[in-house]
Amino acid sequence: MPSFQDQFFSEYLASEIKSRFHQVDHDHAGQKRLYFDNAGGAFRLKSVLDRMVELDAIPDNIERVHTVARHLQDVQARGEADFRCMLNAKGGSIHASQTASSVMFDMVRAVSESVPGTNMVTTVLEHPSVFDAMSLYAQRSGKELRVARSNPHTGGIDVDEIVRLVDQNTCVLNVICASNISGAKLDLEAVVQRARAIKPDLYILVDAVQHAPHGLIDLQRTPVDGINIAPYKFFGARGSGMAWLSDRAAVLPHHKLHGKDANFWGLGSGTPWQFAAMTEIVSYVCWLGEQFTDSRDRRDLFESGMTRIELQERALLSRLLDGGGSVRGLRHIPKVKVYLDYPDLSKRDLIVMIGIGDLDPSEVVLEYERRGVLVYQRTASSIYSKRMLDSFSISGGVRVSPLHVHTPEDIDQFLQITAEMAGAPA
């Protein structure tokens, strides 16, 4: 058994973690199931939904001067501080909207329309909210769109492949933290350092939607100009997208009311629960961090918690791929193919894409559901997958995405079901 499977949470802590989330072992109707589609929408923290209900029940406008309004302003201020804590960001501005996709389009528009340059650089593995935004505004501004190719061996994008496309005329570089197909992580620190060595004032935007719940983000080590997350994939709720912009990016021309400050990105009345959700997410990670450090500094606690989440998920990934005890891992079950497999699990988030024999991925997904498991297909017929899969010459597969909330026993149950579906002994 690989040594890092020793990093699993204790049974007591695992139980405490599960108790903080809704519907971990069953669906909304109470039907027992394994939910392994967290890349499409993660387990919700109970505290997030409690605060959402509490605050959205308040009719008071956050822009008023009376007591309740000031309370809502305090909620937002703390949420903004906690979002900065999550990213280790200093200064800058926060843009809250309904979706992470909308805030990405807003950031791309602001940079592409205002920053000089003849080309824009992105990668083939980007989510459509990045790739389509870059394509749209490159066309509108008459700039060349340069696209870094994927590496079918690693399932990701090589740093060399990205930086070779950057030059003195690059307006903006926009990259993803981790692939939502393979789970391959980008070496963002190397990308930022090497790209800025070519053009020191280069604007860099980052899509952290997939990666944020799985690993630590530190903007002091990777100073970028804009980064977004989707709280519904980070233990939060739908109807919220959050982005942070650097001081210089925040003052680029963008949609705003004339009377607001140049760096203000909000439109319309604020939504206090969006910011309260940030506080609850960060507080949960800090609570987890408290189990492993004596520090009382909030960022230290958050770093500790995210580090333990990453170690737990790496252990789960090892269990998923190589098994444990008498249970075979995906790599060792006959007729099961692990697409874009890579031996160094430190370069992976907890996402695996598989195929079973020559079965259609959609049929495999439905058969898993009949057996009480929720996963999802990624196929070339989907606008969310086609470009990425085509780059790997893969027609489709089944994406498996557990979360740190799961246990090795959950993984073993999934592996036993998979072996049965493949017609092989577990």
Q: For 349-366, what is the mean pLDDT?
A: 96
The answer for residues whose C-beta is within 8 angstroms of residue 154's C-beta and 6 or more apart is 184, 340, 342, 347
- Indicate left, alpha or beta for 351 from its phi (over 0: left) and psi (-120 to 50: alpha): beta
- Contact present, 82 and 303 (Cβ < 8 Å): no
The total of other beta-carbon atoms located within 10 Å of residue 387's CB is 18
Q: In what order do the strands lie in the sheet with 352-356?
A: 336-339, 352-356, 396-400, 376-379
CA quadruple 293, 298, 302, 303: dihedral sign = negative
Q: For 189-202, what is the mean pLDDT?
A: 98
pLDDT band at 425 (very low <50, low <70, confident <90, very high): low
* Average pLDDT along the chain: 96
What pLDDT was estimated at residue 1? 44
Nearest to 229 by CA among 207, 251, 197: 207
CA quadruple 92, 98, 100, 101: dihedral sign = negative
DSSP codes joined into one string, 101-124: HHHHHHHHHHHHHHS--SEEEEET
- The answer on pLDDT for 261 being more than 60 is yes
Structure confidence by residue, pLDDT tens digits, 88-145: 999 999 999 999 999 999 999 999 999 999 999 999 999 999 999 999 999 999 999 9
Classify each residue of 110-138 as buried b or exposed e, where b means 16 or more C-beta atoms within 10 Å of its C-beta: bbbeebebebbbbbbbbbbbbbbbbbebb
The answer for residues whose C-beta is within 8 angstroms of residue 267's C-beta and 6 or more apart is 255, 256, 257
Structure confidence by residue, pLDDT tens digits, 288-297: 999 999 999 9
Q: For 167-182, what is the mean pLDDT?
A: 97
What pLDDT was estimated at residue 263? 96
What pLDDT was estimated at residue 270? 84
> What span, in angstroms and rounded, lies between the C-alpha atoms of 276 and 55?
8
What pLDDT was estimated at residue 269? 84
The pTM is what? 0.95
> What span, in angstroms and rounded, lies between the C-alpha atoms of 122 and 166?
10
N- to C-terminal Cα distance for the chain? 16
What pLDDT was estimated at residue 36? 98
Share of the chain above pLDDT 90, in %: 95
Query: Three-class SS string for 47-58?
Result: HHHHHHHHHHCC
Q: For 142-150, what is the mean pLDDT?
A: 98
Q: What values do phi and psi take at 355, rounded to 5?
A: -130, 155
> What span, in angstroms and rounded, lies between the C-alpha atoms of 154 and 342?
6
Nearest to 132 by CA among 102, 159, 110, 161: 102
Structure confidence by residue, pLDDT tens digits, 39-75: 999 999 999 999 999 999 999 999 899 999 999 999 9
- The answer on pLDDT for 424 being more than 80 is no
CA angle 347, 348, 350 (to 5 degrees): 160
Find the DSSP H helices in 26-93. 46-56, 67-87
3-state secondary structure of 270: coil
What pLDDT was estimated at residue 426? 45
Please provide the size of the chain in residues: 426
pLDDT band at 396 (very low <50, low <70, confident <90, very high): very high
